[in-house]
Amino acid sequence: MNRKRKLSIALLIVTVALSLLYWCHQRIEHFADKPLNIEQETLFKLPAGTGRVGLEELLVRDKLIYSGRWFPWLLRLEPELAGFKAGTYRFTPGMTVRQMLKLLASGKEAQLSARFIEGSRLRDWLQQLQEAKYVKQTLTGKSEAELVLALGLPEGSSLEGRFYPDTYLYTAGTSDLALLKRAHARMDKILQEVWLARDVSQPYKTPEQLLIMASIVEKETGVAEERTKVASVFINRLRLGMRLQTDPTVIYGMGESYTGNISRKDLDTATPYNTYVISGLPPTPIAMPGRASLEAAANPAKTDYLYFVADGNGGHTFTTNLTSHNQAVRTYRQVQKEKNEK
């Protein structure tokens, strides 16, 4: 074979090799730019110690990619994508394989959220945490006394009302105890701020008493502009030595026996929380109050109101004497009757 023929064959081989290399590169690029096979946000857990082969198997198993044929070649071509970190990540529709690998390499885990609403109780929080899929469960089956110790609080501490209702962000694997500690520290901070800014003429001896009042206000109204007036009613009653006579405290004292209605017998049955029977504030908060209720309890409106009743339209009618209150009750019942007849 002459030299010219050998050169031609060599050039042909090089051309074929370059063409194949180009084709492979194009296939790899196409694979890298292909969107993941998802139509909605998806949480993906990458276990610790997972290598390249393991990740490929997980992606194929979960049908996030159809085939892993080009996966190892992409990691060789772009080695910076191979430094993925263990964790739980949020994949979004339209995210490409390359974007997914960049996310795994960044270590930016999915931010999950737990929302605890104002007026909820400790038992509600514990149930919500127990049902949270990505929260590490460490408190299941623990009594309140055991929970107090787990939180590092003095023995005998009451936990009701001591956690601030809000939305808390966390990453998968965060423990239920860690979330409660954050909410407890937040309530301590906000309660202290509100206590220092309170109207010092109010009849509170401790921040705990203010917290108890705020929890009652929280349960009595969801109307923002009414909170300070509701607080004023209870403050005025305290100052006159009148019982608070607030239904939410009765309900709290009934515990699991409450089924949605309060009877006359319930109002007359003594419990530590039945403010139709006891004088003054109940022994602990009855719910988790938000900041608005805390501030209303700390700085109530200056009124002569001693009574309030629902007006049938989402708010309340406030009155200064029993005669006017009874009339407001009759009006409320009439409104309810008319609504039921429609």
| CA–CA distance, 183 with 124 (Å, rounded to integer) | 14
Question: What distance, in Å, lies between the first and last C-alpha atoms of the chain?
Answer: 105
Strand 316-319 relative to strand 167-170: parallel, antiparallel, unpaired?
Answer: unpaired
**CB under 8 Å to 147, separation ≥6 — which residues?**
139, 159, 180
> Given this model, what pLDDT does residue 11 score?
58
| CA–CA distance, 286 with 275 (Å, rounded to integer) | 12
Output the six-digit token pair for 4.
């010219």
Angle between helices 227-240 and 207-220 (to 10 degrees): 120
Element (H, E) at 286: none
| CA–CA distance, 334 with 170 (Å, rounded to integer) | 49
Architecture of the 15-106 domain = 2-Layer Sandwich (3.30)
Q: Where do the structural domains in the chain lie, given as residue ranges?
A: 15-106, 112-190, 201-341
pLDDT in tens, 225-238: 999 999 999 999 99
pLDDT in tens, 260-304: 888 899 999 999 999 999 999 999 999 999 999 999 999 999 999
Sign of the alpha-carbon torsion through 69, 74, 79, 82: negative
> Given this model, what pLDDT does residue 27 score?
78
> Given this model, what pLDDT does residue 31 score?
82
Intervals of the chain under pLDDT 70: 1-25, 338, 341-342
For 152, list phi and psi in degrees, rounded to 5.
75, 25
> Given this model, what pLDDT does residue 291 score?
97
